[in-house]
Chains A and B, each alone.
Chain A
Amino acid sequence: MRRHLLSVDDLSREDIERILGRAESFAEVSGREIKKVPTLRGRTVINLFYEASTRTSSSFELAAKRLSADLVNVKSSGSAVEKGESLKDTVQTLSAYDPAAIVIRAPQAGAAALVARWTRASVINAGDGKHEHPTQALLDLYTLKRRAGSLEGLKLWIVGDVLHSRVARSNILAFGRMGCEITVCGPPTLIPRGIEALGCRVRYTLDELGEADAVYALRMQHERMTGSFVPSLREYAAQYQIDGRRLGPGQLLMHPGPVNRGVELAAEVIDSPQALITEQVESGVVVRMAVLYELLAGGGAPSGVRTPAETGEPQPA
């Protein structure tokens, strides 16, 4: 495991299994009345959030606190960021406090990787633009594995706005690594050209949804819908909404939240026992505890961020 968690690509299958195992043991701690362990006592974790977030930021906060770390929350509103401070200067300023980890959420792809270049702290990507959200993928793996027992060979359908979804990208990589067969499905305008290269197949209708063991519905992201990608939410719902007729009795349902009731999901499936949505939220804390533990206390050999040479771009030489 590397010093940072920037992408699911940084994780081997063994890394993932170790983190999920660690999360299990923290789940046991979370069942106690005193939910705290002293692992990170005296160390500082900084939550640096450039985008609104409830689940991710609060679960990282709880995770850090349950490991006894000192936690600083920095949001873009009310900070020097609002005064026009660059990301680089903000990171260098916060790094002067010698944090053990910086958890960063930013609206641009690659922001976490950039931060890793500018700090000695471990960097955890809590969502960078439409690129990746690796801890979400880990908690989704954890949640589905707990319910389904094993992930090997499971058929997962990811349905909705794949184009704007960092959750979809990280999950295609993560579930693929754990041996799942992945299908992405959504309106053709919201499926990025070339997505098959990540290791999934593409469908534009829910006709074959019946084959899925689990259905992962994506949030229809109003805030990112700058173009007119679908004619109307009504038509979207008619074609792609997961409701009681489309979701079979044996199929599990997941969603990263927050849900748009009546758009991507019908109320009856949200409240059904097949839905793992609340479990996903619960898993967020223990999985993030496990990630913090792995990076800060797990003794993983530190390594740098990927260099251009490692990414295999063609050299003129």
Chain B
Amino acid sequence: MTPTPTTHNGSGGRPEIVLDRVQTPPATVLLRGARLLDPRAGLDGKADLLVRRGRIAEIGDGIEAPEGAELVDAHGLHAFPAFVDPHVHLRTPGREDEEDIDSGTRAAAAGGFCAILAQPNTEPAVDSAPVLRSLRERARAQARIPTGFLAAITVDRRGEQLTEMAELAAVGAVGFTDDGSPVEPAGVIRQALQYQRLAGRPLALHAEDRSLSGAGVMHEGEVSALLGLTGIPSVSESTTVARDCALAAYEDGRIHVQHVSARETVAVIERARAAGTRVTCEATPHHLLMTDEAVRSLDTNTKMNPPLRAETDRQALIDALRSGTIDCVATDHAPHAREEKEQPFELAPMGVTGLETAFASLHTGLVLPGVIELGLLVARMTAGGEPFGVPTPSLKPGLPANVCLADLDAEWDVGEAGYESRSANCAFDGRRLTGRVRMTIADGTVAYRERSFALGAVT
């Protein structure tokens, strides 16, 4: 993604945000007859779209293919700006058996994403400049799509001592988070917010009060009572978000609340925003589509943190997605090894994969039944970079080409042909979904092409 210089969050010019990827020659592609949909650019109609040397060159009818262009018959397909996922676990360094930068970015491209932000809860954690530098180097050798990295807020994510945030920002940290664990002491969050004036990047917060969540493994409610599983009450999340919003307001800092799951949290964020606090937030496809009822099966692919909550929570998240209180969709793609998930529910690790199914699952579960408009889904799935100053993809001529070409009628069974990810712990494994990404152009190059599509339609 060609960066646009950004200054945000406080004083001074910051180093511009640069996402990393393998350098490949820019593509020249003509999409013939696709239905173009880009709410931000006011585009909604059938036309040809020409990508020339990696940029959106022209939109119109009967565009002539330049010499050497790849011609794609896109009749019957939709072309959107490609998606941005602010919350991905690439498991690198440390657990490359579960995911690496190559497989994780391949999975992202297969889901229609043109950029992702990776979380720093790796082994070791991304808490120092050398670790971040080496990761970025690896991304330049392996990443199929532009990839950014968040760094930890505290050393080894222990919630005690701040990392060298200014140096990490200078080396390219897109933001800071201890995701996977909350930063428990309010004093440390406050210091990080103060340091934000120097480091100039948002804090992304995993909100959880461990004195409330304890040894919990699922949402606290009727289903946990029935199963005899220790519950994680919604207030574990909402009280922490309330505290963090108060601190952000006090220090005039900027925070991004990760994976909102509870209706109480939505209410807290709405109030904070109304009072002028600079807070953004995200929600995952699984929280928007599933509830704790799914945990009755004790399928470990329904175990994640925060947990699947009640139907009233799910409805509140959908309303907030519609109203814009939830700024963007994030997958919280969290690969786990098969043997770790093939255990009793209480022993299995938390987390599910979702890059390859994010669009299709939300299209199937929310757009097709008429709960939300397709344009709204596209807007929320493309907006994941905004809280971090990463430009939002658009089909406007002149911009770098970030295009997701999708067949909204295609039905497929999740996992039927395996996954691009190295892990298979997908929350939607085995479900039949409608809508399939056929091709993804990320930062001007073709990052993904579905196999059958590549054989059948491309001339």
Known: A109-B227, A129-B346. A311 touches B296 (CB 8 A): yes
Q: Decide if A194 touches B225 in the complex (CB within 8 Å).
A: yes
The interface residues of chain B lying within 8 Å CB-to-CB of A317 are 364-365, 368, 431-434
Partner of B364, one of A110, A130, A197, A316: A316
Interface residues of A in 79-124 (CB under 8 A from B): 86-88, 106, 108-111, 113-114
Residues on B with C-beta less than 8 A from A88 are: 342-343
Q: Are B433 and A227 in contact (CB under 8 A)?
A: no
Smallest Cβ distance from B209 to chain A, in angstroms? 14
- Min CB distance B184 to A, Å, is 17
| Interface assignment of A65: CB less than 8 Å from any CB of chain B | no
Nearest Cβ in chain B — how far from A294, in angstroms?
24
Q: A226-B215, A313-B290, A316-B365 are in contact. Are A109 and B346 (CB under 8 A)?
A: yes
A178-B339 Cα distance, complex, nearest whole Å: 41
What's the tally of chain A residues with a CB closer than 8 Å to chain B?
Answer: 36
Partner of A109, one of B298, B362, B428: B298
The answer on a CB contact under 8 Å between A87 and B343 is yes
Checking A109, A166, A312 against B293 with a beta-carbon cut-off of 8 angstroms, the contacting residue is A312
With A and B bound together, what is the CA distance between A306 and B231 in angstroms?
23
Please report which residues of chain A, range 187-206, place their CB below 8 angstroms from some CB of chain B when the two chains form the complex.
Answer: 192-195, 197-198
Given A111-B344, A308-B297, residue A198 in contact with residue B431 (CB < 8 A): no
Question: What residues of B have a CB within 8 angstroms of the CB of A195 in the complex?
Answer: 225
- A131 lies within 8 A of B229 (CB): yes
Cα-based distance from A89 to B233 in the complex (angstroms): 34
Segment from B102-110, B216-224, B316-324 that makes contact with A: B216-224
Flag whether B410 is at the interface (Cβ < 8 A): no
**What are the residues of chain A within 8 A of B290 when measuring CB–CB?**
313-314, 316
CB distance from A83 to the nearest CB of B (A): 15
CA A317 to CA B220, docked complex, whole Å: 26
B289 within 8 A of A: yes
Query: Which residues of chain A are near B428, meaning CB under 8 Å?
Result: 316
Closest chain-A Cβ to B88's Cβ sits at a distance in Å of 21
Bound complex: CA of A160 vs CA of B188, how far in Å? 41
Chain B residues near A315 (CB, 8 Å)?
431
Tell whether B7 is near chain A: CB-to-CB under 8 Å: no
Give every chain B residue within 8 A of A197 (Cβ-Cβ): 222, 225-226
Tell whether, in the assembled complex, residue A110 and residue B342 are in contact, meaning their CB atoms are under 8 Å apart. Answer: no
Q: Contacts A193-B225, A314-B294: A106 and B344 contacting too (C-beta < 8 A)?
A: yes
Q: Are A316 and B431 in contact (CB under 8 A)?
A: yes
> Is B221 a contact of A193 with CB atoms below 8 Å?
yes
For B220, give the chain A residue with the smallest CB separation.
A193
- Which residues of B from 413 to 459 have beta carbons under 8 Å from A? 428, 430-434
List of A residues within 8 angstroms of B346 by Cβ: 108-110, 129
Residues of B in contact with A (beta carbons under 8 Å apart): 214-215, 220-231, 233, 289-291, 293-294, 296-299, 311, 339, 342-347, 361-362, 364-365, 368, 428, 430-434
List the 8 shortest-distance A-B pairs measured between CB atoms, nearest first.
A316-B365, A130-B228, A108-B344, A110-B298, A194-B222, A197-B222, A313-B294, A194-B225
9 new A-B contacts at CB < 8 Å, known A109-B344, A131-B227, A314-B294: A108-B343, A108-B344, A193-B221, A193-B231, A308-B294, A313-B297, A316-B289, A317-B368, A317-B432
